[in-house]
Amino acid sequence: MLTTDQLRSFKKIIQNRINEVKHELQTNDDFGVSQSFVQHSTGELSNYDNHPGDTATELYEREKDSSLSEHMKQELTELTSGLQRIGSGKYGVCSVCGGDIAVERLVAIPTASTCIEHSPSQNTSHDRPAEESTLNPPFGKYVNDTKDANFFDAEDSWQRAARYGTSETPSDFNEQQMSYDSMYIESHEPYGYVEEIETFLSADLEGKPTGVVPNKTHEHYEAELDDYEEQVNNGTIEDTDLKF
């Protein structure tokens, strides 16, 4: 049972906090939630010419303001309820079991209406949003890297599309040598061939060699062979050192 002095002390604490909350809501104009989104939040008459990213930022700020306003109003309701319980002689008494609420709990949470054993937040939920099982990972369950498979799967589909560009830039990565052509996973993976030599050796429908298609890979390959022959002739390396 709380003493008269303790009740007076808690009443003063609650009244002071009520004044603080009201002053904060008034000063912040209720966090701006009563204002029009476009005219007051962005200072513009229309979002037509704005980048979607800018609009998303403004939307995030508006959602944050709404949450702060809702939180403050909920606190104000709980403070008012606590003040009413003091007036009715029910302050410091658990609304569930009727037992006394520990003074230490009231000092920490002056608006507490239940004892710690009957507080509504005994258990913390660890449930995840239902959509996570569908959205995450985006195509992970359709990737067959760990299987003995070489068919066209979801990862290959993403790589095929990402070759034409993504929203990422070289500045988004820590690697020093990064280009716009490698802004997606496995960008170094060969496309349409297994070994580089297959990019300039041609064959007919029956698989018989028909010649060489000149390209940069072929020029690089020939330069490596010339360099190898030169080193063999100079005695720098043995003929068995080069591996293709």
19-37 residue pLDDT tens: 999 999 888 888 877 776 6
54-100 residue pLDDT tens: 777 778 888 888 899 999 999 999 999 999 999 999 999 999 999 99
CA dihedral 35, 38, 39, 45 (to 10 degrees): -160
Write down the pTM of the prediction: 0.49
Average pLDDT, the chain: 82
Closest of 91, 72, 84 to residue 15, by C-alpha: 84
| Beta-bridge mates of residue 202 | 211
Tokens of 64: 């944050």
User: What's 235's DSSP letter?
Assistant: T
Spell out the domain ranges in the chain: 4-117, 132-189, 193-244
Please count the other Cβ atoms lying within 10 Å of the Cβ belonging to residue 212.
Answer: 12
Q: Domain 4-117, what fold?
A: Four Helix Bundle (Hemerythrin (Met), subunit A) (1.20.120)
Q: Rounded to an integer, what distance in angstroms lies between the CA atom of residue 90 and that of residue 1?
A: 10
184-235 residue pLDDT tens: 777 777 777 778 888 888 888 888 889 888 888 889 888 988 988 888 888 7
Whether 244 shows a pLDDT value over 60: the answer reads: no
Question: For position 138, what pLDDT does the model report?
Answer: 61
